[in-house]
Amino acid sequence: MNNDAGTVWHKGEVSIQKLAGTYERMVDIGPKFIREFMPQQHRDFFSALTMIYIGYMDHRMQTRASLLFGVPNFIQSPSETELIINTQSSLGDFINDDIKIGDRVGLLGIEFDTKRRNRANAVITDINQKNIRLSILQSYGNCPKYIQPKTLVHNQGYGDFSLTTDSHLNQVDKDFISSADAFFIASHFDDGQQGNDRGADISHRGGSAGFVSINPKGQLLIDDYPGNGFFNTLGNLIENPLASLLFCDWYSGNALHISVSSKVIWHDDENHRSHLLTTTKDTGSEQIKRTLCFTPSKVERFVNALAYRTASY
């Protein structure tokens, strides 16, 4: 059974779509593109992965973005509506005690070498010491746009974890973020309804190195490049501005997790935009209509957290 328009988009997504002028198109496209099951190519895709990004709400009711690792088949798909994920290897932050049956999580798989990516939103139906079992609520693909290709190999230092926390970004953090070509954002929306579009979500944001700016207040600024018009992330953020950002340093094997509050800045608000922005980026022929502004509240620095790193180091 497929979704209908009423269960594909929640009110936040609809609000952004109307502001951006994509709503009429999304009413037609959404139910056709977003499924309540995984086609066989998605099932094969997830089973072949060696890592998967997960967005979830932890036991402190904080939205988190994490990354789970394994070898091919650490994710299994016993049916078109189910996934089983071995959760034993992560950034060093993910523990099954943080989640419970009934929680709704967002999943994102990416093959960096082929630039393929597929997403799923799902509800947890079972948990044990090794695995979580998930029932699919929404399944859909994303285009390869803004994914920077890379080849990854096993990180020999993985597992020798250390963690430091702070309330703000230091200069090393800022330098790393300013040179990043991607990050991942976990967001969450829940109005108590049981629609398939409620719960946690995780998405990829990418661009050329330097696509993330940091202003003198320490806020992260990211121009919202044209995409599929769904606005899953922005729709969540206007309803619940609390989110988390994950930056992966594939050269060092380290990761940076940032808890943030967020704001969507529309560019017709020129006074607000000129107050926040410190740089002007060349976006080619694409007109940028929105900028995302993230204010950090907690910074977590994970050392040796990535099971894979770039082949050239």
Q: Which position has the token pair 């999304």?
A: 26
* Whether pLDDT at 171 is above 70: yes
Nearest one of 264, 259, 219, 212 to 237, comparing CA atoms: 264
**pLDDT mean across residues, the chain:** 88
Q: Which CATH architecture has domain 5-310?
A: Roll (2.30)
- Distances in Å between the Cα of 261 and the Cα atoms of 6, 78, 104, 257 are 28, 38, 21, 13
Per-residue pLDDT band at 47 (split at 50, 70, 90): very high
Compare 44 and 22 and report the one with higher pLDDT: 44
Per-residue pLDDT band at 61 (split at 50, 70, 90): confident
DSSP 230-241: --HHHHHHHH--
Residue pair 307/160 in contact by the 8 Å Cβ criterion: no
pTM score of the predicted model: 0.89
